[in-house]
Amino acid sequence: MPELPDVEIYKIYMNSTSLHQKIENAEVLEPSLLGQVSSRSLQMRLKNREFEEVRRHGKYLFSKMDKNEWLILHFGMTGFLKYYKNEEQAPGHIRLLIHFDNGYHLAYDCQRKLGLIDLTANPKDFIEKKKLGIDPFGPDFNQSKFRELLNGRRGAIKSALMNQQIMAGIGNIYSDEILFHAGIHPASPVKKLKEADFEKIYREISTVLQTAIDCRVNPDNFPNDYLLPNRREKEDCPQCGGTIQKETISGRSAYFCSRHQKKI
DNA sequence: AATATTGTTCAGCA
DNA sequence: GTGCTGAACAATAT
């Protein structure tokens, strides 16, 4: 699940639960998720500090402590956060556990261990090192920038949307959703798209991601004409009465409507 | 019991 | 060197 909208919700969650509270101590329960920092060092550096601010870039979450140190979290395919007091509310696959001095805990849970826990002095350096592209909600993202980023690309539009080095934050689910609303087949080669197609896709990137955030990424809250709650093969298209199809595109399952997303 | 699954990384190829 | 694809990674559900 954790694509841009999910991580944005985690940011809001952490902002409303975990800021300005002293960290009594922290436990690394799965050292294989650590990046540069060692388990011991991370625990020492979290102890007696507090979080002051939370930012997001693409699918990465950055939590600022004092002295220019930021905790980096990436959620892989199954990561999420849980703030709780009583043990019985603890989730089942905690990989990092932060204990606050008010008796509450913040758990980073990641069943499939494909996430990342790290520290950095500056999110910008980390973003550059990872070669992450622009965030679709960043100040410099606009239609001409989008057009420029896709110019000269080979390959399918879905792959380009999912390419974190072009734009950061869109994954398999939301690339499908964006193309579904733009009415464009996910396998369409970028170089065959018309200007009007780029305009539509650009518009839908903001609309779809913002809608998902407004729905708090809960499938029950999505508008009726969204693919996400019915993203299954053979399902009826929620827009046109067509049928949802599945096709593998750059190694991932793409779902789309065979009627209103015609192959180019 | 194979197969599929939201993620990134990296080898191999054009 | 660059950009793209597909496999590998982990753990679980179907």
Distance A211 CA to B9 C1' (A): 31
Nucleotide in closest CA–C1' contact with A59: B7
Residue A254 is encoded by which pair of tokens? 């793409």
Residue A133 approaches strand B within 7 Å at CB: no
**Integer CA distances (angstroms), A131 to A168, A228, A255, in order:** 10, 29, 28
pLDDT at A251 (0 to 100): 86
For A199, other C-beta atoms within 10 Å of its C-beta total 14
Q: Which residue gives the smallest C-alpha to C1' distance to C9?
A: A114
Could you give the CA distance from residue A256 to residue A96 in angstroms, rounded to a whole number?
Answer: 37
In chain A, DSSP assigns E strands to: 23-28, 53-57, 60-65, 69-74, 79-84, 94-100, 105-110, 116-120, 244-249, 252-257
Residue A261 is encoded by which pair of tokens? 């997303």
pLDDT at A1 (0 to 100): 67
Q: Which of A3, A103, A105, A97 lies closest to A58 in space, CA to CA?
A: A3
Question: Which stretch of DSSP H or E encloses residue A232?
Answer: none
Question: Which stretch of DSSP H or E encloses residue A15?
Answer: helix A4-17
DSSP secondary structure letters along A133-169: -B-TTSTT--HHHHHHHHTT--SBHHHHHH-TTTBSS
CB A93 within 8 A of CB A111: yes
CB A59 within 8 A of CB A168: yes
Residue A114 approaches strand B within 7 Å at CB: yes
Give the bases of strand C that a protein CB approaches within 7 Å. Answer: 3-12
Residue A172 approaches strand B within 7 Å at CB: yes
Cα-Cα end-to-end distance for chain A: 29
pLDDT at A241 (0 to 100): 86
Residue A118 approaches strand B within 7 Å at CB: no
Distance A76 CA to B10 C1' (A): 17
Q: Which of A154, A152, A161, A167 lies closest to A179 in space, CA to CA?
A: A161
For A175, other C-beta atoms within 10 Å of its C-beta total 26
Amino acid letter, A169:
G
User: What pTM does this model have?
Assistant: 0.96
pLDDT at A160 (0 to 100): 95
pLDDT at A250 (0 to 100): 83
Give the bases of strand B that a protein CB approaches within 7 Å. Answer: 4-9
The residues close to strand C, meaning Cβ under 7 A, are A 77, 93, 111-114, 153-156, 159-160, 163, 190, 250-251
Nucleotide in closest CA–C1' contact with A113: C10
- pLDDT tens string, chain A, 264 residues long: the values are 699 999 999 999 999 999 999 999 999 999 999 999 999 999 999 999 999 999 999 999 999 998 889 999 999 989 999 999 999 999 999 999 999 999 999 999 999 888 999 999 999 999 999 999 999 999 999 999 999 999 999 999 999 999 999 999 999 999 999 999 999 999 999 999 999 999 999 999 999 999 999 999 999 999 999 999 989 988 899 999 899 999 999 889 999 999 999 988
Nucleotide in closest CA–C1' contact with A75: B7
Buried b / exposed e across A73-93, counting CB within 10 Å, b at 16+?
A: bbbbeebbbbbeeeeeeeeeb
Cβ-based burial of A108 (10 A; exposed 0-12, middle 13-18, buried ≥19):
buried
Could you give the CA distance from residue A65 to residue A52 in angstroms, rounded to a whole number?
Answer: 6
